[in-house]
Amino acid sequence: MSASSHGPTAWEGFWRDAPAGEGEVFWDTAPALAVARHLPFFADHFDAALPVIDLGCGNGTQTRFLAERYPRAIGVDVSASAIDRARREDPLQVAEYRQVDAADAVQIRALHEDVGEANVYVRGVLHQCAPEDRPRIVAGIAALLGRRGRAFLVEPSEDAKNVLMSLVQRPGGPPPKVRAIFSHGIAPAEMPDGAVPDLLAAHGLTTTGSGRLPLVTTETRPDGTPVEVPTNWLLAEPREA
């Protein structure tokens, strides 16, 4: 879960310093609790013959799940350390991984020229981007889709702020996984719920489905239950499709 955010340097530092191992990052949830829950909302809409791009793949946990269901899965991330980690955690090489800044039109164009039309899966990227980067990233998503591709995006809702603040304000201070997010300067920025559909529309994409679903994190509450962040999901396609 990192694409451009508050800067490539911040994401590089985060992934370089993140502890190794499954579930050591706040959002590195097992696929069964993440992309597998999203699959029913996009499976019938994604052209199964097209590749799928996991935009902001981080260490590739969700990418590897997608690789089991599509002929070609490519995880892209702005951080070289994230991509190195994704490759190490994929010894069977079921997926591909590339360092790409999703806000860079030249890099996106090169990816599109190589991969062709593709479906795009995006989980929690836009809210962690600088506001000026969000239109660039959505423009990049539109370019990657071509005419046949479809996009599925998941972003924390406005009320997710209350959940995050409850973690930050714990009596003993924020837990290590949350503290790492703030200490590396990649804290999520506030984004109105209507911002994503507006961005999609502004870049020639039509929202064809939407809903709410909690995002299960790897952090737990005092009673041992996982912390869940409320999210909005959207399915989009090119307007001329």
pLDDT tens, residue by residue, 59-98: 999 999 999 999 999 999 999 999 999 999 999 999 999 9
Cα–Cα distance, 240 to 79 (Å, whole number): 33
Cα–Cα distance, 53 to 8 (Å, whole number): 19
Cα–Cα distance, 47 to 65 (Å, whole number): 17
The predicted structure's pLDDT at residue 7:
63
Domain 8-20+27-238 fold: Rossmann fold (3.40.50)
Two structure tokens written together for 106: 């030249």
Q: Where do the domains of the chain lie? A: 8-20+27-238
> Which strands, in side-by-side order, build the sheet including 205-220?
96-99, 73-77, 52-55, 119-123, 151-156, 226-238, 205-220
pLDDT average per 10 residues of sequence, the chain (241 residues): 58 89 87 96 97 97 97 96 96 97 97 98 91 95 98 91 78 82 77 93 98 92 88 95 61
75 forms beta bridges with 54, 97
